[in-house]
């Protein structure tokens, strides 16, 4: 019999302790054990019932380098940066930190009303009577940061975000808001802030400048009544060249005509104005008759005197002289017959005179033409100088307009580029993409029976721990062995508490 008892005790022991030793404290603290178990189980069950099952929503973000944003600059062409470097862990960690940044979480809390007190928070609000809206938001942000489970999936560029709440729609809404706000946050961090607004303002500015430059150019043409001063100046330059040629030709013609007049005058001096056209040679019969009659009378007179006087008598000598003179006159008359001529203007002299008159008239006309040509050249040269000034002014206006147009087109392209980048950033930004968007969970993480079972197990573990802890710290003796070990004296008789 004693051997059987020893065998049973040996089978019930584990080392120096037996199962009885483990169970005795529980029996001693069974009231505490039961009360603790019921209290913990009741609180846990009440919490499960009030909170309900939890619904978990999941979202995954891919960190990549599929699209590179162009450098924001005022250059006409923008160089794109291409790289094949893999995404580093630091970049993934940076994106994970952006997800839980305070401003993003505050907006998520505000958009989803997480700062509003729940059914269990009313009890806690009694302990915080002076709590403000900012305090609620801060507590909600802190709670949200704890509830969000953010992790980098191993051997991938994916960041997984999990959020649980009693409401499946709330779980989806929180992750949806978080994804949208995170995209906006990433854009604000990784791309220059206000670049689209800047380029929009600059585009409008240069558009106004272009309009003003076009108005100035339009008013310039209207006020000066010239559309293309450079082309008009070119035409005037051709006309001036032609006029200069005409001037030189006129000067040459005047010089030639003056030489011609001088030559004609010289020829005119050596030319008789009249020339004989009819010439008749005849003697003067009447004169000869008179001379012969005078000779005869003189001879008769001398003869009469000679009859009376000597040859040396004065009257005789006078008669001799008369006879001699009469003979001489007759002889001269015979030697110079009477020539009768008819004259008219000389043709050569007349041609020279007419040519001189005509050439002088031509010279006068050519001098008038030369004077008018010189005045015209001077006027056109002055107009060309004026057109040069207008051309320079127009060139300045055109350069101003072209510069404004170039700047306007440049900033217009930049604005459209930024607008396109902003539009692409809505769904897919340069280094981040929402790979797995959140969805409304259909099934809870754990059903209510499972939660109650977990609450039962937790209550059992906590109540057992409480019983063992209280029994361990109890200084009273519960067994004779404890008395022998503590006091070192034998125990003769033990009486139970109930029997006593």
* pLDDT given for residue 193 in this prediction: 60
Residue 26 has pLDDT above 80, yes or no: no
User: 161 vs 122, which has greater pLDDT?
Assistant: 161
Give the Cα separation of 69 and 67 in Å (integer). Answer: 7
Residue 452 has pLDDT above 70, yes or no: yes
* pLDDT given for residue 368 in this prediction: 92
User: 122 vs 380, which has greater pLDDT?
Assistant: 380
| Both tokens assigned to 134 | 């900012």
Give the Cα separation of 26 and 23 in Å (integer). Answer: 5
Residue 276 has pLDDT above 50, yes or no: yes
* pLDDT given for residue 372 in this prediction: 92
User: 212 vs 29, which has greater pLDDT?
Assistant: 212
- Structure confidence by residue, pLDDT tens digits, 381-401: 888 888 888 888 888 888 888
Residue 11 has pLDDT above 50, yes or no: no
Give the Cα separation of 111 and 105 in Å (integer). Answer: 10
Residue 430 has pLDDT above 60, yes or no: no
**How many CB atoms within 10 Å of residue 312?**
7
Going by pLDDT thresholds of 50, 70 and 90, the confidence category of residue 232 is confident
Residue 334 has pLDDT above 50, yes or no: yes
Residue 94: exposure state from Cβ atoms within 10 A (0-12, 13-18, ≥19): middle
- H-state helical runs in 225-346: 229-269, 285-308, 314-335
Going by pLDDT thresholds of 50, 70 and 90, the confidence category of residue 8 is very low
Residue 15 has pLDDT above 60, yes or no: no
| Tokens 């076009």 -> residue | 214
- H-state helical runs in 74-167: 89-99, 102-112, 121-127, 133-147
* pLDDT given for residue 6 in this prediction: 39
- Structure confidence by residue, pLDDT tens digits, 315-333: 778 888 888 887 887 777 7
- Structure confidence by residue, pLDDT tens digits, 41-50: 788 777 766 6
What's the rounded mean pLDDT across residues 152-168? 84
Residue 359 has pLDDT above 80, yes or no: yes
Distances (CA, A) of 428 to 182, 264, 422: 12, 103, 10
What's the rounded mean pLDDT across residues 216-222? 82
Give the Cα separation of 346 and 270 in Å (integer). Answer: 12
């Amino acid at each position: 019999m004693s051997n059987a008892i020893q065998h049973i005790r040996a089978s019930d022991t584990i080392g120096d302790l037996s199962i009885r030793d483990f169970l005795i404290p529980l029996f001693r603290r069974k009231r505490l054990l039961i009360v603790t178990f019921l209290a913990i189980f009741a609180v846990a069950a009440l919490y499960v019932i009030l909170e309900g099952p939890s619904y978990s929503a999941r979202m995954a973000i891919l960190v990549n380098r599929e699209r590179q944003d162009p450098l924001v600059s005022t250059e006409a062409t923008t160089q794109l940066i291409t790289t094949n470097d893999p995404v580093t862990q630091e970049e993934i960690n940076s994106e994970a930190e952006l997800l839980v940044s305070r401003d993003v979480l505050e907006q998520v809390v505000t958009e989803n009303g997480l700062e509003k007190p729940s059914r269990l928070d009313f009890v806690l609000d009694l302990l915080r009577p002076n709590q403000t809206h900012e305090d609620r938001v801060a507590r909600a942000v802190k709670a949200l940061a704890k509830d969000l489970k953010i992790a980098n999936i191993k051997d991938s560029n994916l960041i997984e975000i999990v959020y649980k709440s009693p409401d499946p729609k709330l779980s989806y809404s929180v992750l949806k808001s978080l994804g949208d706000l995170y995209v906006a946050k990433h854009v604000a961090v990784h791309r220059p802030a206000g670049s689209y607004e800047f380029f929009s303002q600059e585009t409008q500015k240069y558009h106004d400048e272009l309009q003003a430059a076009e108005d100035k150019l339009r008013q310039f043409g209207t006020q000066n009544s010239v559309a293309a001063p450079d082309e008009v100046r070119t035409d005037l330059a051709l006309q001036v060249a032609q006029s200069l040629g005409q001037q030189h030709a006129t000067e040459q013609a005047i010089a030639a005509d003056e030489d011609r007049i001088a030559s004609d005058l010289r020829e005119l001096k050596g030319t008789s104005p009249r020339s004989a056209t009819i010439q008749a040679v005849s003697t003067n019969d009447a004169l000869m008759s008179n001379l012969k009659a005078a000779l005869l009378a003189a001879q008769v007179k001398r003869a009469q005197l000679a009859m009376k006087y000597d040859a040396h008598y004065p009257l005789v000598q006078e008669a001799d002289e008369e006879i001699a003179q009469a003979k001489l006159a007759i002889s001269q008359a015979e030697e110079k017959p009477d020539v009768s001529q008819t004259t008219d203007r000389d043709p050569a002299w007349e041609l020279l005179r007419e040519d001189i008159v005509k050439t002088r008239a031509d010279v006068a006309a050519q001098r008038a033409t030369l004077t008018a040509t010189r005045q015209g050249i001077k006027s056109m040269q002055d107009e060309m100088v004026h057109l040069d000034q207008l051309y320079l002014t127009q060139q300045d206006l055109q350069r101003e307009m072209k510069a404004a147009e170039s700047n306007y087109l440049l900033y217009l392209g930049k604005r459209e580029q930024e607008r396109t980048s902003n539009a692409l950033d809505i769904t897919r930004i340069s280094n981040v993409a929402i790979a797995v968007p959140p969805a409304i969970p259909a099934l809870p993480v754990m059903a209510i029976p499972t939660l109650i079972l977990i609450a039962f197990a937790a209550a059992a573990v906590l109540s057992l721990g409480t019983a063992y802890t209280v029994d361990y710290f109890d200084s009273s003796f519960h067994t004779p062995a404890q008395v022998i070990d503590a006091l070192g004296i034998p125990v003769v008789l033990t009486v139970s508490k109930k029997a006593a």
